Amino acid sequence: MLENGVKVELKSVSKSFKQTRIITEMNLQINPGEFLVLLGPSGCGKSTTLRMIAGLESLTAGKILFDDQDIKKMNSWQRNIAMVFQDYALYPNMTVLQNLEYALKVHKISGDVRKKRVNKILNTLDLEQVADNYPSQLSGGQKQRTALGRGMVKQSRLFLLDEPLSNIDVQLREKARDEIQNIHKQNKQTIIYVTHDQTEAMALGDRIAVMNNGKIQMVATPDEIYNHPQNLFVAKFIGSPQINLMVTEFEADSLNKGKTQLINNVNKLSDYKFQPREKVYFGIRPENIQIMPLNQNKNYLRGTVDQITDYGRYQQIMVKVASDLNFKIISNNNQNDIGDKVSLSFKQSKILLFDQHNEKNITRREG
């Protein structure tokens, strides 16, 4: 167990504003020294969850524990939290340097250590040229970087970040993301990071908690989230380009979309007891479809290349199999042109099936 991080537990936590339920019966444990990402669409309750952990929002029900102690019984010094707000929350009467240094002075960190930490952050976040500027003299990106640096420099046991990179340009965002990872590696602090950006979440998190409508849909490693989503929402929300997803019908150990047979060995993929003509969701990610020259193998689908989008490092190919059936495929060595007749093959171990009623994953796990 890592020494510096705090264990955080949410037990049956709910939050309502007037008659509107924002968070519903949330249970979550964040391990000491873990980097946990709260990921979900706008309005799902992830920022509210973070603010409750910070003690900035009251709980309607339930409790939050730090190292098994109720945070209601702890003062701010005992909580030892650093937080980066989405709206910067900088001290307007302090320069960038003074904003970074303030918490260190309050905690009586020595001058030499303060200077070393602050200078490193100024350099990392490209703030050296504006170190003596006040917040009113900064751009939005500079304000965001200053807010991020102020949280980084504190080295607290619990570091909370609410969309900290949203206003930073791409090159500096990657640099800042790398530095957040480095700080976590060095300090072993517990980090809870809110974002709607799945790329950020997958790159940073030891685990990801996917949220929707005030509820946690799944908590797992990036690999588990991507390859073994617990339900349809997680499968659709994670992945770019999005997963190919369609409603199919079961018949005689096959899954069909209209007159097209997609797979003919369903019982090898799932322990679920299918009923005749039962409908289930069929999913396959674009990188798990192989596109080949047209051949007569009955196990392959046949279609026509309808669209090609070149992203540089890969091409996205849209293949029309039937009037109501299209597949997105990702390829690093596409040899086809629009209008070409091709065959498609699915990587069987990567096919995902979901119950149409409760939307849970019913695919048999590998291994």
pLDDT confidence of residue 19: 85
User: Quick check: 134 pLDDT over 80?
Assistant: yes
Binned at pLDDT 50, 70 and 90, residue 1 comes out as: very low
Q: Is 151 helix (H, G, I), strand (E, B) or coil?
A: helix
Tally of CB atoms within 10 A around 148: 23
Burial of 287 (0-12, 13-18, 19+ CB in 10 A): middle
Please check the confidence at residue 86 and state whether its pLDDT lies above 80.
no
pLDDT in tens, 261-280: 999 888 889 988 889 999 99
Which residue is listed with tokens 């990036």?
A: 222
**pLDDT tens digit string along 156-205?**
899 999 998 887 888 888 888 888 888 888 888 999 999 999 999 999 99
Q: How far apart are CA 149 and CA 121, in angstroms?
A: 6
List C-alpha distances in Å: 99 to 40, 121, 160, 163, 166. Answer: 30, 12, 17, 19, 20
Instruction: For residues 114 and 135, give the distance between their C-alpha atoms in angstroms, rounded to a whole number.
Output: 21
Task: Give the position of tokens 């003074």.
Answer: 98
Q: At 359, is the pLDDT very low, low, confident or very high (cuts 50, 70, 90)?
A: very high
Q: For position 365, what pLDDT does the model report?
A: 77
- Give the whole-number percent of the chain exceeding pLDDT 90: 66
Report the share of the chain in percent with pLDDT over 70.
99
* pTM to 2 decimal places: 0.90
| Per-residue confidence (pLDDT) for residue 160, from 0 to 100 | 94
pLDDT above 80 for 146: yes
Q: How far apart are CA 45 and CA 173, in angstroms?
A: 24
**Average pLDDT value over all residues in the chain:** 91
pLDDT band of residue 3 (cuts 50, 70, 90) is low
Higher pLDDT, 79 or 214: 214
3-state class (DSSP) for residue 329: strand
Q: What is the pLDDT of residue 210?
A: 97
Helix H or strand E segment including 15: strand 8-17
What residue segments make up the domains of the chain, in order of their start?
A: 8-237, 244-355
Asked: is 244-355 a CATH 2.40.50.140 domain? The reply is yes
pLDDT score, position 2:
39
pLDDT (0 to 100) of residue 366 = 66
State residue 184's pLDDT score: 87
Closest CA to 50 of 17, 83, 74: 83
| pLDDT at residue 352, rounded to an integer | 97
Q: Give how far the C-alpha of residue 125 lies from the chain's centroid of Cα atoms, to the nearest Å.
A: 23
CATH (residue range 8-237): 3.40.50.300
CA pseudo-torsion sign 138, 144, 147, 152: negative
Q: What is the DSSP letter of 136?
A: G
Q: Which segment of 25-34, 81-90, 317-326 scores lowest on mean pLDDT?
A: 81-90
SS3 172: helix
